[in-house]
Chains A and B, each alone.
Chain A
Amino acid sequence: MHVLTDNWSAYWHGFLGTLWLTLVSAALALVLGVVVAGFRVSPVKPLRAFGTGWVTVLRNTPLTLLFFIVVLGLPRFDITLPFFTFAVLALGCYTSAFVCETLRSGVNTVPVGQGEAARSLGLTFTQTLGLVVLPQAYRAVVAPLGSVMIALAKNTAIAGSFSVVELLGTYRTLNELGYGIVWTFVWIAVGYLVLTLAISALFNLLERRVAVSR
């Protein structure tokens, strides 16, 4: 216990770093994911091809390799940003591929008849999308999106090895201070559990909110 209380500020700092990294990357991933999902279901062929390529490549790229490319590669193009921004870029782009696939399969769960019925009622494209298709897709998307976000929170641990302040990285400081390594890790694990459980509770709440008997 004293490992935690003695080093509360280090842990708290790391925890906030992980939390912040998760939130910002999640925002980027959601925006990118929505855009790419839009590309993938659009009637415009080059956009569809781009979306497919984006998802296929990113889903099959090891995240460490992506970090490697972004953190060490972009500076060669004279693009120098803070490490935090690099980490957000890598995590956000990587996760966007999974968000995109979740959204796309969500849209695909809406029966074709729903869209056809909406159009035959005279709804415009925006109305069809906003009033009929998306509200139904949203319900199917919440639960899998929750697992994507949990995976994102877990993946932020990699950023620590690329000079970003986050929870796992605190072990180095504490190790140098001579604290028991096992307990150091126990509290790190607790930190991650708190974060993932919180995300999971949040999405459970959302899921219960939007649940309707279908």
Chain B
Amino acid sequence: MTVESSALYDVPGPKALARHRLYGWLALLVIAAVVGWVVYMLFHTQQFTYQKWTPFQYKGVQELLLRGLGNTLKAFGWTVLFALPFGALFAAGRLSDHRAVRWVCTLVVEFFRAMPLLVMIFFIFVALKAPPMWALVAGLTLYNGSVLAEVFRAGVLAVPKGQKEAAYALGLRKTQVMAYVLVPQANRAMLPTIVSQLVVALKDTSLGFLITYEEFLHAGKLIATNLDYDLPFIPVVMVIAPVYIGMCLLLSWFAKWLERRGRRDPKVKGGAPVAPAGLTPDPQG
């Protein structure tokens, strides 16, 4: 048995093991009871009737869902495409030698990080009258780009000082130091954090639902509120939720894999410290 934090308790002896087993069975019983209740409720409220599940066989419904999923991925793709350069630009701005540039960039980044994403999306949608998709993409870009700017900045600052000094001593110019020395080294440490931030962006594309962007959740809602299909709300959730969670999980796992790979790489050992503390953003959005 692998115990993650053994600061809390000793390696259990035979008596403690027996007790833990008892607790284990009790816990299983409770969990099984809860699951059983949910399944009972699902049957009790007739969520598995033929009428509620047939819509998913219709070609139109399938296409509607796929189109929704496509729109979700499209918004995500645009966001990634815009947010990364935005982040790089403002990170560079915050690291600039010119005080004015630094201040402006700090102000922009801090403001967009402090604002609820939904407020920005609504502002762009309602006040600037942007079409839903571009309102969503713009909001996501501003927020995630600002968070990414902080990630980039922290990554570049975490490269040991000697690297920069050595590069200047070799006669490289400011831009060259950044592009050839600092960024490539920071990149390796930042990659997992960047990907986890992209998970946040992917999750937040669902906010498009609230401004009537025709994304995955919107497609689900259309089917769920259809009287002809007997309001198949729970079936729709059972189809949509695993897809959403699955996509985010895959991306999360990718981030974790990148992190493990970065830590394992022998080239990194003894070189630049990887993933410095305080670099992880809150993946909460």
Contact = CB atoms under 8 A, between A and B. Distances in A.
B partners with A:
yes
Interface of A: 40-41, 43-47, 50, 56-57, 59-65, 68-69, 72-73, 76-78, 95, 98, 104, 107-108, 110-112, 114-116, 119, 125, 128-129, 133, 144, 147-148, 151-158, 160-161, 168, 171, 175, 181-182, 185, 188-189, 192-193, 196-197
A122 to B, nearest CB: 12
25 contacts: A41-B4, A41-B5, A43-B3, A43-B12, A44-B27, A47-B24, A50-B27, A61-B203, A61-B245, A61-B248, A62-B204, A62-B206, A63-B206, A64-B217, A68-B220, A76-B233, A95-B284, A119-B10, A133-B7, A152-B284, A154-B115, A154-B117, A158-B207, A185-B122, A197-B114
Contact of B45 (A77, A98, A151): A77
Contact of B116 (A65, A98, A114, A192): A192
B203 A60 contact: yes
Given A43-B20, A112-B6, A119-B10, A155 B245 contact: no
A185 B6 contact: no
B126 A181 contact: yes
B6 A65 contact: no
A69 B209 CA distance: 13
A23 B24 CA distance: 34
Contacts of A125: 8-9
B246 to A, nearest CB: 8
B244 A185 contact: no
Interface in B1-37: 1, 3-10, 12, 16, 20, 23-24, 27-28, 31
B41 interface: yes
B122 A77 contact: no
A64 B207 contact: yes
B210 A63 contact: no
A65 B7 contact: no
B283 A155 contact: no
A46 B12 CA distance: 17
Contact of A69 (B122, B123, B241): B241
Interface residues of B, number: 56
A97 B248 CA distance: 15
B127 A182 contact: yes
Contact of B206 (A41, A65, A147): A65
Most buried by A among B41, B224, B285: B285
Contacts of A175: 126
A189 B207 contact: no
Interface of B: 1, 3-10, 12, 16, 20, 23-24, 27-28, 31, 41, 45, 47, 114-119, 122-123, 126-127, 199, 203-207, 209-210, 217, 220-221, 224, 233-234, 237, 240-241, 244-245, 248-249, 252, 282-285
A201 B20 CA distance: 42
A72 B224 contact: yes
Contacts of A158: 118, 207, 210
A212 to B, nearest CB: 18
Given A43-B3, A63-B203, A68-B209, A157 B119 contact: yes
Contacts of A197: 114
Given A65-B241, A73-B234, A77-B41, A60 B282 contact: no
A78 B45 contact: yes
Contacts of A45: 1, 20, 24
Given A47-B23, A192-B119, A76 B47 contact: yes
A62 B203 contact: yes
A2 to B, nearest CB: 18
A54 to B, nearest CB: 11
Contact of B6 (A76, A104, A115, A152): A115
A133 B7 CA distance: 8
Most buried by B among A43, A45, A104, A160: A43
